[in-house]
Every structure is written in structure tokens, then in C-alpha cells.
Amino acid sequence: MQDSKNLILAIVLCLVILFGWGRLAEYMGWVQTPDPAAVAQQQEAVRQEAVKAEQHKEEAAKAATLPVFTPAPGRDLTVDSPLYEAVFYTGGGPLRSFKLKKFQTGLAPDSPLVNMVDERTAAVAPLGLVINSQPSWSTGQWSLDSGEQNLKLDAGQQGALRLVGVVDNLRVVRELTFNADSYLIKEKIRLINAGDQPRSVRVSYTVASDASNAAGGRYDSMRVAWDNDGSLSEESSSKTLESTGVQATGKIYWAGAMSTYFLSAVLPGETNNVTVKGLLQKTVYRTAVEEPENLLAPGQEKELTVSYWLGPKDRTQLLAVSDQLAKSIDLGMFSIIAKGLLWLLEFFHKYVHNWGVAIILLTIVIKAVFWPLTAKSYASMEKMKKLQPMMTAIREKYKDNKELMNKEVMALYKTYGVNPASGCVPILIQLPVFFGLYQALLTSIELRHAPFIMYLPFTDKLWLADLSAKDPYYITPVIMGLTMFLQQRMSPPATDPTQQKIMMFLPLIFTVLFLGFPSGLVIYWLVNNILSIFQQWLMMRKNKAAARAEA
């Protein structure tokens, strides 16, 4: 019994010491009671750390479930479609070659096909991805994940090429999709952070084109171009592109290197806050489109989309992709008129199957539309011609008093109801049509290597075999100059001696100017002059008949 009492007494003394000491220490100020709010905050922080640790564990487990990557040696893989033959390098996916089956470099039947990626261009790895400023094709490890066979596409078919790689400790999957009926290549890119730390990722898409893809000169030059929120921008200065290059950021619909007739472009999937960089290295025009930076947590995946256009600037096919891409064909400020004239030109070609003849028919239609205006201009000039003797007399009489001379001339105009500007108004009205047609013919790929008269008559020498090139023998520009001179001789001479001298040299000036023009444009101007001479002859004949009737 006593042992039990002693045990109970010991337990009570322990409890008193355990709890009573804490109370006594708190009462005496030896310890401080924790703030309940601070305790709760500390507990919440511990809980959040536990949640983060659990998420990190799950993400690490997800990353660990990725299939094992086994790099393979790179090799060339061919994608063969009715429109092109492309050669890709499986070590990252850059292009080795891209030959257009429907376009040749020259007029000869055995001329090589136009190669959008020649040896010089292939050296800078177009279509290769740049990841975190690193060239993925040389710093990464890659394998082909879509079989080992070349890709053959028949009309109406699609095919895909899938590459898997590791670049800068990131898992990268490239899936390129090809359409046998289009020059557009679509791509999906998967970026996976397989590490245990968050990563920032910045991806750039690249295209390039050698200067040899343009004929050179004023009418077919290579340049870097891009569409920023619907506005077309170009840079053709080799000095600028070699020294500082060009850069733009914004809503970029497409960017690339292009000539008058061919385009190599990137079409980013995300168009906002995209950066374009363009430069010229030796003879290769390079363009990169950089995506905004993305932050990937461990195990996180990001999918990007992009498209590439490598091919001719065919307006119908470009429009099938987007209105913005079609703007790579610059039709100038009178684009609405140019589009209408192109439609008419294509309409005539369907029936005559010769672009030169189609241009002549189009010129006749334009002349017929403006015939009444031109007739009014001729009538005004005829009135001016009748006033010429009186004008000369006034100039002689008041040659020392310019103010009085001008006053008398204006009175003469008013008396006979002549408006000296009426002869210019029809010409001004026709100018937009001329400029629209100029841009339409200059940028139309249909005229490239399109013949009008293949050989110089009675010879085996190529003549107007390419309407996009100048007349090699300058026959049509010289004839055009002669018709312009004849037309001028049939018109009343200018009343001012200075104007007469200027008008006398105009045919010569235009002839020199047209020597380098594409022959399709020269044909238009030549036929227009011939029709104008015919109309002027009819007007002169009518006026003579009226004069005889009055007599």
C-alpha cells in the first residue's frame, strides 16, 4: 500500500514540476509565450514547402518517365513531291537542298532547276532551330523518329518527318508536315524540360537564300522582307545588311529573304512580340524569327507552331495560305487596279496561251476604255493648234512684258473657249492604270521565262523568249522610241520654245530608259503608242473632212 502511495506521490510531483515550472518561468519572465499569429504563419510556410516538395517529386517522376533518348548519326533524307525535291539532314533538320520542279534557272530545256537552298545557303543551315542562342543542328544530339525511308508524296498526299533531340539539356521534338500540293511546310515543336531545375527557353526559326536566286539589277534584286501588322517592310541595301543588319519586333506575320519571283519565309504561329533579325553573310541573305522567352518548370512541356514557305511568289497559292503572305508581291499604291489588270491578263491567256499576245489584248482593252478621254485630249490640242499663229503674235508683241503677255494669252483662251489643261487631264487619269499595270507585269511570275516570239525572225537566235527580261537586241525599245517620235510629230507643237526642246528629247530619253525594261512592259508601251497614232490619224482625218465641208 505504501509503495502505491509513494508511486502516486512521485507522479504528482513530476506533473507539478513539468507544468508548474513552465507557469512559474512564464510568470517570472524567464520565457516568452509565442504569438498565435506567428505560429500560424510558420505552420502555413511549412505546409507550402511540403506542397512544393510534393510537386517537385511528381514533376521529377514525370520527367523520369520520358523514353530513353538514343542519338543516331545524321544523314540526308529526301522529301519528293510534285512541286519540289527537298533534302533534309536528320541531325537537327536543316535543309541541304530545295529544288523547285516547275522552275528552271535558264531558258534552255536542260537548264538546272531553281534551287532555293544551294551549297552556299545550305552552309548556314536554313530551317535549323536556334535554341537559347545555340545552333541545335551542331550542338544537339538527334535521332529520326519517323522511319528510315525517304518520303515520297503523290498529288493530294501529306507526309511527316519527326525528329527527336536533346539540345542544351532540353528534350526537343520536331514534327514537319508536307503537302504535295503546296510549298508550305508546317511544323510542331515540343520542348520538354527533363531536368530538375526551372529553365528559360528561347527559340528562333531560320531561313536563308543566296543572291543567285535573283537575276540581279533593278527589277529582280534579293532582299530581306517582313510583314509587321499588315505593313510590308523591305531592306535590299547590301551595305546595311552586311554592317548592322535589320531588326524589328511586333506582330510579325512572316519574314524571310525574297527576290521578285521567289520567297523563303518563316510564318510564326504566335505573331505578337516576335523579333525579326536579317543580315547578309557574303552572298547569303539570312533571316531569323525569334519567339518570346518561355519559362519551363521541371517536367513541363511547351508546344510551338511555325510554318515555312519556300517557293515561287505565285499570288493564288500565297493567298491560299494568308492575305499577309500574298503581300510579299508588292503591287504598289494602285494595287486594286493592278489586281484587276492581272485578272484580265490571266483571262486572255486562258484563250490565247501566249502571255505576249495577252498583253497586247489587254493594251487594246485599256485603250478602248480611255478612247473618249484621249479623243477629248486630241480635240483640245487641235484647238490649241488653230490658236498657234495668234499665240505667236501675242508673244512677239509683248515679249518684253511677261505679265501683259500672259494676260492676253488667257484672254485668247477665254474668247475661243480653250482650256490649256484639258489636254493633260486624260493623261493624268491614265497614269494610275499605267503604274498599276507596270507593277502587275513587273511582279508577275507568270511572265518569268514566258515567251512571246521565241526566235528572231529568220534566225535561230533567242529574242523575246522571256517577257520578264529585257530585249537582248533592243529592237522593241528602239521601235517604241520611233513610234513616240512619230506621235509627237503628229501633235501640235508646244507654244513655249523651252517646252518644244524638252518634247523633242522625250522620245530619246524614253528609249534609253526602256532599254533595260522587261520586254513585257516595252510591248505594252509600244502597242499603246501604235494605237495612239492610229487614233490620232483618225482624228486628223475627221478634222480635215470637217474643214473641207466648211469650205
CB atoms near residue 515 (< 10 Å): 16
pLDDT tens, position by position, 420-475: 666 566 667 778 888 888 889 889 999 999 999 999 998 999 999 999 989 999 99
Average pLDDT over residues 93-119: 94
Average pLDDT over residues 526-551: 83
pLDDT in tens, 136-189: 998 999 998 866 678 999 998 999 999 999 998 899 999 999 999 999 999 999
Rounded to whole angstroms, how far apart are CA atoms 538 and 545?
Answer: 11
Model pTM?
Answer: 0.81
Range 68-84 average pLDDT: 84
Calculate the average pLDDT of the chain.
84
pLDDT tens, 476-522?
999 999 999 898 887 766 656 666 677 778 889 889 989 988 999 99
Whole-Å CA distances, 421 to 368, 371, 546: 22, 18, 25
Beta-ladder partners of 60: none
> For 284-304, what is the mean pLDDT?
93
CA 338/CA 332 separation, integer angstroms: 8
Could you read off the pLDDT of 15-31 as tens digits, one per residue? 444 344 444 444 444 44
For residue 290, count other CB atoms closer than 10 A to its CB: 21
For 3-16, b where at least 16 C-beta lie within 10 A, e where not — what string?
eeeeeeeeeeeeee
pLDDT of residue 400: 77
Between 402 and 310, residue with greater pLDDT:
310
193 pLDDT above the threshold of 80:
yes
Closest CA to 466 of 529, 511, 514, 523: 523
The residue with greater pLDDT, 296 or 215, is: 296
Is the confidence at residue 3, as pLDDT, over 90?
A: no
Angle, CA 506 vertex, CA 502 and CA 509 arms, to 5°: 120
Of the ranges 195-199, 215-219, 448-452, which is most confident?
A: 448-452
- The answer, yes or no, to whether residue 69 has pLDDT greater than 60, is no
Give DSSP secondary structure letters for 355-401.
HHHHHHHHHHHHHHHTHHHHHHHHHHHHHHHHTHHHHHHHHHHTTT-
Supply angle C-alpha 115, 118, 124, rounded to 5: 135
According to the model, what pLDDT value does residue 339 have? 92
Q: What is the pLDDT of residue 9?
A: 44
271-282 confidence digits (pLDDT tens):
788 999 999 999
Neighbours of 483 (CB within 10 A): 20
Q: What's the confidence (pLDDT) of residue 39?
A: 45
The pLDDT of residue 29: 46
Residue 517 is inside which H or E element, if any?
none
15 or 354: whose pLDDT is higher?
Answer: 354
| Residue 2 or 273, more confident | 273
Q: Residue 453 forms beta bridges with which residues?
A: 464
| Exposure b/e, 401-438, CB count within 10 A at least 16 = b | eeeebeebbeeeeeeeeeeeeebeebeeebeebbbbbb
Question: What string of H, E and C letters represents the secondary structure of 140-152?
Answer: CEEEECCCCCCEE
Using a pLDDT cut of 90, give the percent of the chain over it. 54
* Lowest mean per-residue pLDDT among 204-218, 253-267, 479-493: 479-493
Domain residues of the chain, as ranges?
76-330, 337-550
Q: Is residue 12 over pLDDT 70?
A: no
pLDDT: which is higher, 359 or 401: 359
The end-to-end CA distance of the chain, in Å, is 166
pLDDT at 21: 42
C-alpha cell at 176: 514537319
What is the number of other CB atoms lying within 10 angstroms of the CB of residue 117?
Answer: 27
Coil, strand, or helix at residue 192?
Answer: strand
Phi, psi of 529 (to 5 degrees): -65, -45
pLDDT of 131 reads: 95
Strands 76-80 and 151-152: parallel
Tell me how far CA of residue 115 lies from CA of 206, 277, 450, in angstroms: 17, 23, 19
Q: Is a pLDDT exceeding 60 seen at residue 529?
A: yes
Sheet holding 95-104, edge to edge: 113-115, 95-104, 84-89, 76-80, 151-152
In degrees and rounded to multiples of 5, residue 329 shows phi and psi of -90, 105
Which whole number is the average pLDDT over 191-199?
90
pLDDT band at 196 (very low <50, low <70, confident <90, very high): confident
* String of DSSP letters for 398-443: TTT-HHHHHHHHHHHHHHHT--TTTTTHHHHHHHHHHHHHHHHHHH
Largest CA distance in the chain: 166
- Contacts within 8 Å (CB) and 24+ apart, 439-442: 439/330, 439/331, 439/332, 439/334, 439/335, 439/338, 440/331, 440/338, 440/339, 440/341, 440/342, 440/345, 441/359, 441/467, 441/518, 441/520, 441/521, 441/524, 442/219, 442/260, 442/518, 442/521
Q: Residue 406: what pLDDT? A: 81
Residue 52 or residue 110, greater confidence: 110
User: In the prediction, which pLDDT does 496 show?
Assistant: 61
**Contact yes or no for 232/271 (Cβ under 8 A):** no
Q: What does residue 286 show for φ and ψ, rounded to 5 degrees?
A: -110, 140
- Type of residue numbered 489: R
pLDDT at 11: 41
Average pLDDT of the residues in 521-532: 92
CATH number of 76-330: 2.70.98.90
What pLDDT does residue 124 have?
94
The CA-atom distances, in angstroms, between 148 and each of 96, 142, 163, 171, 178 are 17, 14, 11, 21, 17
pLDDT at 287 over 50: yes
